[in-house]
Amino acid sequence: MSDPRPLGVFDSGVGGLTVLRELQRQLPNESTIYFADLGHFPYGPRYQAQVRHFAINIIRFLETLEVKLVVIACNTATAAALNTARELFDIPIIGVITPGAEAAVAATRNKRVGVISTEGTLQSQEYLHAIREANPTIGVLPKAAPELVDLVEAGKSGAPETEAVLRAALQDILHYQADTLILGCTHYPLLRPLIRKIAGDSMTVVDSAETTAARVKRVLARNGLESAEPGGAQHQIYVTGSPERFTDVAHILFGQDLPPITTVRLELVEAMSGREGAA
């Protein structure tokens, strides 16, 4: 039995492409649809209720494209919308926070974990809850570094100004002597070289792309949703807003040719989701 329907993946910008790339690596037979909500980028500074509204509309839009599973490839949107989305939709919905938290719990040796994220993810405390759920004895030090998202999106992941912001974000975590660092935003894997420069080999760096893809693979297998069509995978990208900057940075982040990109008006997403109105 084969289910050729695509996987839906979304984020506010290019960051979720780190998750998409890993999904395509681990699940080469699966078709994908990636949705970048550039018209509302960035999600990090927004109120959780607003991010939740955007996320629910996007999932409804993806449902109209007949996806069989949705990955919320954004930490801020996972924190704001995952539980509500699971109540509203029948299709499987997977976020990036729990897989990353569980990977950090498995990696830490001194039971001290640092987390860098957007302000929205920090305020939600979802990483703290997920880590403590897995192991209540582990200490967690979260730090918000919202400027890093804009710097990565601007293609400045190796720039001196980015290093300065990252050093400030990591200062307390290094002083805390955390031996494991969670990249609590899907944009942050591009900062790995700078993190290594600043922290050396003192910390294991965890990003949720690999563990999230592994979870998707398990869910598909457990529920008979796998595609068994070698070479039949097709990939698409939908964006709201202007795709130019997305395309430039996405080539760097994705590391290969991008799938075809279709621009969708925000009003259309609202209308197709059944929630027509002002964004």
**Tokens describing residue 89:** 């939709």
Q: In angstroms, rounded to a whole number, what is the distance separating the alpha carbons of residues 232 and 79?
A: 33
74 is catalytic: yes
Which residues lie closer than 8 Å to 68 by C-beta, 6 or more apart? 3, 5, 6, 7, 91, 92, 225
Would residue 132 show up in a list of annotated catalytic residues for this protein? no
Catalytic one among 55, 71, 74, 140? 74
Catalytic, out of 185, 209, 239, 249: 185
**Rg over CA atoms, the chain:** 18
**With 0-12 CB in 10 A as exposed, 13-18 as middle and 19+ as buried, what is 222?**
exposed
Residues 6+ apart with CB under 8 A from 251: 258
3-state DSSP call for residue 192?
A: helix
Catalytic residues: 74, 185
